[in-house]
């Protein structure tokens, strides 16, 4: 297989990636870089990882043929049901992998950042499972608007620390987690929740999430007699569910890669999180990638109705897919996403997370052929968003 779109041995996807970190983080990140592939290749690691994915997470997640949605858009739509995972989203695939990694590195304290709280809950969950101390940084504003997930994390035994700096949202929670790691360089592992951060994080997270496309291949073979769909579609904030959904198709150009970002109130409204359209190459949280910034290089505040897509950067893999033209990038507004989410409820009886609803809005932007096989990553369930849906639709 060609290896054009995957990471190179220096930690870059094309021109994006790398590890732009202060020296204080170097020993931690270097320890991880030197060990992550080796540890992941150990048979005992693979065994434990897959056992937990099966018995604890409930994998494989179904690949469901969405009959009524397919009829409506006159194409063949499959939904990869990551929403049925334990904790309600794809996030847990990565936290299971990283907690096993942390244990093998001899770490006894876990830190994480979270925006909407999904990654925080998934991290608190695996820490409870392993009996390891867990501290989750969350923006003060997000703590206020995501109360149920804050309560979940607390019930799971995690300490939730408010990020009080900057805009007090996901970007600042990430800054605080990085500062914690600087202050605790020996015993602590930082579980980053998306395919972002300094190398090797984007690659490590992508590999843990790649179980999604691994399963799609054999599941589709069962159902359609072929492994490759015509398109894989995912929403992108930092881009971990997308990275996992694309991974095994990256170098197979017969499979179209489609990304849907959050346009918020509209790309040019000043309230958007459509990073590929609005971003410029720069450095955020330790990697070179596309990010939303002023012309002076100050990182700006994104906006989306979905807290999980409300991030000013995008993973370096996705910047490369965008810049190289390998991926087709679209963006869905708040309104388009909410409408698509409600449509899924009523056509298929599935309430999606608002993040996921952005991927479902692809049908507003692209028409597929009747015999196209389109696999959409149904990255999370909508329970956490009920209040948002209630407010939006005045239910």
Partner 1 sequence: MNRINQKLKEDKKLLSIYFTAGYPEIDDTVSIIQKLELSGVVDMIEIGLPFSDPLADGPTIQASSTAALKNGMTTEKLFKQLKDIRPFVRIPLIIMGYFNPVLQYGVEAFCKKCQEIGIDGLIIPDLPVDVYDEHYKATFEKYGLINVFLITPQTSDRRIRYIDSISTGFIYMVSSASTTGAQSGFGSTQTDYFERIANMNLKNPQIVGFGISNNDTFTQATRYAKGAIIGSAFIKHLTNNGANSIDDFVSRILNL
Here the tokens at position 286 are: 């330790």
Is 324 annotated in the active site? Answer: no
Contact between 105 and 90 (Cβ < 8 Å): no
Q: What is the CA radius of gyration of the chain?
A: 19
Binding-residue total with partner 1 (CB under 8 A): 34
End-to-end CA distance of the chain: 50
Determine which residue in the list 7, 17, 21, 354 makes contact with partner 1, applying CB under 8 A. Answer: 21
**Helix 91-104 to helix 26-41 angle, to the nearest 10 degrees?**
100
Look up residue 82 and give its DSSP letter.
G
Residue 283 CB, nearest approach to partner 1 (Å): 4
Segment contacting partner 1 by CB under 8 A, of 146-154, 289-297, 320-328, 369-377? 289-297
Least distance CB 183 / partner 1 (angstroms): 5
Are 88 and 118 in contact by the 8 Å Cβ rule? The answer is yes
Look up 227 and say whether it is catalytic: no
Question: Is 148 near partner 1 (CB under 8 A)?
Answer: no
Residue 225 tokens read as 């007699």
CA distance 30 to 286: 13
Q: What is the rounded distance in angstroms from the CA atom of residue 270 to the CA atom of residue 258? A: 24
Q: Which stretch binds partner 1 (CB under 8 A): 21-29, 46-54, 59-67, 332-340?
A: 21-29
Nearer to partner 1, 141 or 283 (CB): 283
Please, where are the H alpha helices in 247-384?
A: 275-278, 316-324, 334-348, 354-360
273 touching partner 1, by CB under 8 A: no
Cis peptide before 200 (omega within 30 of 0): yes
Using alpha carbons, select from 102, 378, 374 the residue that is nearest to residue 244: 378
Contact by Cβ (8 Å): 118, 194:
no
Q: Of these residues, 213, 240, 377, 379, which one is catalytic?
A: 379
Q: What is the DSSP string of 212-234?
A: HHHHHHHHHHHHHS-S--SEEEE
165 binds partner 1 (CB under 8 A): yes
Are 18 and 283 in contact, with CB atoms under 8 Å apart? no
Contact of 82 with 92, CB cutoff 8 Å: no
Among 4, 6, 15, 26, binds partner 1 (CB under 8 A): 26
According to CB under 8 A, which one of 104, 179, 271, 326 is a site residue for partner 1?
Answer: 179
Question: Quick one: which of 156, 239, 150, 152 has its CA closest to 193?
Answer: 239
296 binds partner 1 (CB under 8 A): yes
Distance CA 355, CA 181 (A): 28
Active site residue 113: yes
In this complex, which beta carbon is closest to partner 1, that of residue 183 or of residue 346? 183
Using CB under 8 A as the binding rule, whether residue 182 contacts partner 1 is answered as yes
Which of 82, 113, 176, 355 does the annotation list as catalytic? 113
Check binding of 6 to partner 1 (CB under 8 A).
Answer: no
Measured between alpha carbons, how far is residue 186 from residues 19, 197, 286, 344 in Å? 19, 19, 19, 47
Is residue 9 near partner 1 by the rule CB under 8 A?
no
Q: Among residues 172 and 334, whose Cβ is nearest to partner 1?
A: 172
Write down how long the chain is: 395
In the set 76, 80, 82, 91, the catalytic residue is 91
For residue 297, state whether it binds partner 1 (rule: CB under 8 A): yes
Question: Shortest gap between Cβ of 19 and partner 1 (angstroms)?
Answer: 6
**371 is a site residue for partner 1 (CB under 8 A):** no
The smaller minimum CB distance to partner 1, of residues 9 and 23, is found at: 23
Only segment of 60-68, 296-304, 356-364, 370-378 that touches partner 1 (CB under 8 A): 296-304
Distance of closest approach, residue 285 Cβ to partner 1, in angstroms: 8
Nearer CB in complex with partner 1: 244/282 = 282
- Compute the least distance from the CB of residue 297 to partner 1, in Å: 3
Give the residue with the Cβ less far from partner 1, 6 or 300.
300
Residue ranges that bind partner 1, judged by CB under 8 A? 18-24, 26-27, 165-166, 171-172, 175, 178-179, 182-186, 280, 282-286, 293, 295-300
Q: Which residues are catalytic?
A: 91, 113, 379
């Amino acid at each position: 297989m060609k290896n054009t779109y995957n990471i190179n041995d220096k930690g870059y996807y094309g021109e994006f990636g790398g590890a732009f970190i202060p020296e204080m983080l170097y020993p931690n990140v270097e320890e991880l870089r030197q060990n992550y592939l080796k540890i992941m290749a150990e048979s005992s690691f693979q065994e434990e990882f897959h056992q937990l994915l099966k018995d604890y997470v409930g994998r494989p997640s179904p690949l469901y043929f969405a009959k009524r949605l397919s009829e409506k858009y006159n194409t063949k739509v499959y939904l990869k049901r990551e929403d049925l995972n334990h904790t309600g989203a794809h996030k847990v695939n990565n936290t299971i992998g990283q907690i096993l990694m942390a244990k093998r590195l001899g770490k006894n304290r876990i830190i994480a950042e979270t925006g909407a709280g999904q990654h925080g809950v998934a991290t608190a969950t695996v820490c409870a499972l392993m009996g390891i101390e867990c501290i989750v940084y969350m923006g003060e504003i997000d703590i206020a608007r995501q109360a149920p997930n804050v309560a979940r994390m607390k019930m799971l035994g995690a300490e939730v620390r408010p990020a009080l700096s900057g805009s007090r949202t996901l970007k600042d929670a990430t800054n605080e987690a990085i500062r914690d790691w600087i202050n605790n360089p020996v015993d602590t592992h930082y579980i980053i929740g998306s395919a972002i951060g300094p190398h090797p994080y984007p690659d490590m997270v992508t590999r843990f999430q790649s179980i999604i496309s691994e399963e799609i291949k054999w599941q589709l073979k069962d159902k359609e007699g072929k492994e490759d769909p015509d398109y894989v579609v995912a929403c992108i904030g930092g881009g971990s569910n997308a990275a996992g959904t694309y991974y095994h198709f990256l170098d197979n150009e017969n499979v179209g890669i489609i990304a849907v970002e959050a346009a918020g109130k509209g790309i040019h409204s000043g309230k958007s999180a459509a990073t590929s359209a609005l971003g410029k190459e720069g450095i955020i949280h330790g990697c070179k990638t596309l990010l939303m910034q002023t012309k002076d290089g100050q990182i700006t505040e994104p906006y989306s109705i979905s807290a999980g897509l409300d991030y000013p950067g995008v993973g370096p893999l996705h910047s490369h897919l965008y810049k190289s033209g390998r991926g087709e990038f679209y963006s869905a507004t708040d309104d388009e996403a909410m409408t698509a989410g409600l449509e899924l409820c009523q056509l298929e009886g599935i309430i999606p997370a608002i993040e996921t609803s952005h991927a479902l809005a692809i049908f507003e932007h692209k028409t597929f052929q009747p015999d196209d096989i389109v696999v959409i990553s149904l990255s999370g369930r909508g329970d956490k968003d009920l209040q948002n849906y209630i407010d939006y639709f005045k239910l």
